Structure 1
Amino acid sequence: MSYRDVVDVLLEQHDELRRLCAAVERSPGDEKARRFDDLVEAFRLHERGEQSVVHPAARDSSAAGNRIGLARMTEENSIERSFEGLRNLGAGHPVFDRAFTPVYRAVLEHLTREELDEFPVLRLYVPVQRLHMMVGELHDIQVMDAA
């Protein structure tokens, strides 16, 4: 029997974030605003879980893991500030799409960096049992933060 670990769960969440970004880009009018709100909330919950559970594990694993975890947290904070600026602008604003494009790109680059840099560190340095336990911790943080 195969059990999912926290990296598997995060990869599924990354796929969902990519789908939500694409949905914002291609949606019209009020639907674009709804999709954007969905994206912002999904990103927020995803990152709260990572910041509470995943990045600390990576940072504690090695010097490289520490650098990688800090870099990802810096990117996350920048993306969240960009989302706030877009939210203040409003999805109906004539420049929203043009302003969303670099944020979309930043999200994709951030997710890819986690997948290429941070997730391998977790799988290399964090014991398998711990990676499995982190699934429950991640879930609990995200559920509590969504409430």
Structure 2
Amino acid sequence: MDALKLLTQDHRTVERLFKAYERAGDRAIKEKQRLADEVIRELSIHASIEEQFLYPTARELSDKLDSQVLEALEEHHLAKATLAELEKISPGDERFDPKMTVLMENIRHHIEEEEEDLFPKLKRLMDSADLAVLGEAMEAAKKLAPTHPHPMAPDTPPGNIVSEALAKILDSGKDLVRGTARSARRAVTARLNPARSSR
């Protein structure tokens, strides 16, 4: 798949999650947590593949893109810091919704800059075959990308390639433990309150 189409598809996925979060009511704590977890996962993976492939490619193609890429990396850093903060609190916390609102505003701005400025420039600098090769590499990298934010990790090659491989291992363990804990809670709830678990 074309790299820019792949990234744009990711952007639409994140926007759908944002809209679902905005529609969730104040008391929809579980739904907000589920959506926030998905946002964290999607943005962590997306940032990883942009930092490993898109931004280095852009800088190699044109020195004129350096400042734009550096700004995008700073936006990623701020987003990862906010995502890491969101992982530490729950939607019942009074700071959760404001943090999500700021994150959504920043990510929407970031997406707009990429889709309206950076992507068209890259489309002019790369042919369809190059975009397809880059897209294939990104699709493969998604399977190995971190699923949680790591704001203090390097965000440029070669440091990010090594740190993200290690982060993926840690994240896989974290995801496994969380999934096991959720399954155990559901099983206990079902045994203690069969009527509630059948709903």
**TM-score when scaled to structure 1?**
0.90
Counterpart AA for 1:21: F
Residue 138 of structure 1 deviates from its aligned partner by 0.2
Residues 18-97 of structure 1 aligned to structure 2 (within 5 Å): 18-27=15-24, 28-97=28-97
Residue 38 of structure 1 deviates from its aligned partner by 0.4
Counterpart AA for 1:64: K
1:17 aligned partner:
14
Residues 1:99 and 2:99 aligned together? yes
CA-atom RMSD, angstroms? 1.5
* Greater share of helix: 1
**TM-score when scaled to structure 2?**
0.68
Percent identical across equivalent pairs?
Answer: 23
The gaps in structure 1 that reach 5 residues or longer are none
The 4+ residue runs of structure 1 with deviation greater than 6 A are none
Q: Is the 8 A contact 2:82 2:99 kept in 1?
A: no
How far apart, in 2, do the equivalents of 1:95 and 1:40 lie?
A: 16
Name which of 2, 5, 12 aligns with 1:5. Answer: 2
Residue 100 of structure 1 deviates from its aligned partner by 1.8
Question: Deviations 1:85-115 (Å, cap 9, x if unpaired)?
Answer: 2222322213321232111100100111111
Instruction: Compare CA radii of gyration and give the structure with the larger one.
Output: 2
How far apart, in 1, do the equivalents of 2:123 and 2:65 lie?
A: 11
How far apart, in 1, do the equivalents of 2:119 and 2:83 lie?
A: 25
